[in-house]
Amino acid sequence: MQATQKTRVLTGITTTGTPHLGNYVGAIKPAIEASQDPNVQSFYFLADYHALIKCQDPERVQASRLEIAATWLALGLDTDNAIFYRQSDLIEVQELAWFLSCVCAKGLMNRAHAYKAAVAENEEAGNQDPDRGITMGLFGYPVLMAADILMFNAHKVPVGRDQIQHIEMARDMAGRFNHLFKGEYFTLPEAVVDQKVEVLKGLDGRKMSKSYNNTIPLFTPEKKLLKLVRKIKTNSLEPGEPKDPDGCTLFQIYSAFASDQDVAAMRQQYADGIGWGDAKNQLFDYLNTHLEAPRERYNALMEDPGYIESVLQKGAERAREQAAASMEKLRAAVGLGRFV
């Protein structure tokens, strides 16, 4: 099958945090699996330009980029197959973002959830200026994201539910550009929201998220992992009392990792009244067994940033080859082509 006929799947990871179990189950694992499909050309990138919107702590951004890259490599992403790169290595993305800015209605951006939420917060706080503290970066966030996607004419964009609107906006911009400049320059992308992939719960039972400070970092050292698992909130039922696995955070995390058979066995243990301490130990053992080998690889990779840099440079080279070719056409389309 020719490369051009493959389905192009693209997604970005904002580099502001340390990957946790929820990221792994919800995004990283399915993405690495999808990239093994020979009918797919996947593009995975560190959305580090996007990171600057949320985070003005350079050390955090720098550390997060390295951690996220090391995580994907440690978990076995095949970078000969998937194109794995840093957004900020593709200066072309900024150029395309500008082209799209010039066809994107301001009113469309006014309706973006993230911007609206920031305005609502100002209004609730009684600020006179509803735009107080809101940067152009935040306001134009969906344009940059559209540039990421449209640059490679991605067909499918796996994202969380909160990002669906951004994909719709990218379609809007693509359609507008095609119409204005009379050509099929861009493919209209589709959001893919995996219904099967559960949103993992965190230590306190709410969605596992950096903003709730309730995460279990994926490659936390073994001792720390045990400590965190012990912190997972349970109810006050005693050992011997039957317990309901559905809705139980421990059981949910266990289920995300274990085989169907082991999940069924655990379900039976709940019915038989397993004690919480015992359930936590079993969860820890399961996680630790699964994470031990990639954790070792992760630690080794973190010690070797030069290697990670070289992998990302290679990815950027492959991505830029395509991006540069697209930009040449797009420049000509808008009237910024060469004279001869």
Sheet architecture: strand order including 156-158: 83-86, 40-47, 7-14, 156-158, 190-192
Binding range to ligand TRP, per CB under 6 A, among 7-15, 88-96, 204-212, 249-257? 7-15
Q: Does 73 participate in binding ligand TRP (rule CB under 6 A)?
A: no
Buried-exposed string 47-63: b where 16+ CB fall within 10 A, e elsewhere: bbbbbbbbbeeeebbeb
Q: Does 140 participate in binding ligand TRP (rule CB under 6 A)?
A: no
Does the annotation flag 1 for ligand binding?
Answer: no
Question: How do 40-47 and 190-192 pair as beta strands?
Answer: unpaired
* Number of residues in contact with ligand TRP under rule CB under 6 A: 12
Per-residue binding letters, 159-178, with ligand TRP (x by CB under 6 A): x---x---------------
Residue 26 vs 217, nearer CB to ligand TRP: 26
Residues 6 or more apart whose CB falls under 8 angstroms from that of 244 comprise 270
Binding range to ligand TRP, per CB under 6 A, among 96-104, 125-133, 142-150, 220-228? 142-150
Q: Does 50 participate in binding ligand TRP (rule CB under 6 A)?
A: yes
Residue nearest ligand TRP (C-beta atom): 12
Does the annotation flag 14 for ligand binding?
Answer: yes
Q: Does 12 participate in binding ligand TRP (rule CB under 6 A)?
A: yes
Does the annotation flag 15 for ligand binding?
Answer: yes
Q: Residue 83, SS3? A: strand
CB 38 within 8 A of CB 186: no
Q: Does 157 participate in binding ligand TRP (rule CB under 6 A)?
A: yes
Residue 10 vs 291, nearer CB to ligand TRP: 10
Does the annotation flag 88 for ligand binding?
Answer: no
Report how far residue 258's alpha carbon sits from residue 269's, in angstroms, rounded to the nearest whole number.
Answer: 14
Does the annotation flag 280 for ligand binding?
Answer: no
Does the annotation flag 57 for ligand binding?
Answer: no
Does the annotation flag 304 for ligand binding?
Answer: no
Q: Which of 31, 32, 46, 47 binds ligand TRP (CB under 6 A)?
A: 47
CB 158 within 8 A of CB 192: yes
Q: Does 65 participate in binding ligand TRP (rule CB under 6 A)?
A: no
Partnered with residue 192 across adjacent β-strands are: 158
> Quick one: which H or E segment has residue 284?
helix 276-302
CB 201 within 8 A of CB 208: yes
Burial of 268 (0-12, 13-18, 19+ CB in 10 A): exposed
- Residues belonging to the binding site for ATP are 14-16, 22-23, 160-162, 200, 207-211
> Which residues bind to ligand TRP, rule: CB under 6 A?
10-12, 14, 47, 50, 145, 148-149, 157, 159, 163
- Residues belonging to the binding site are 14-16, 22-23, 148, 160-162, 200, 207-211
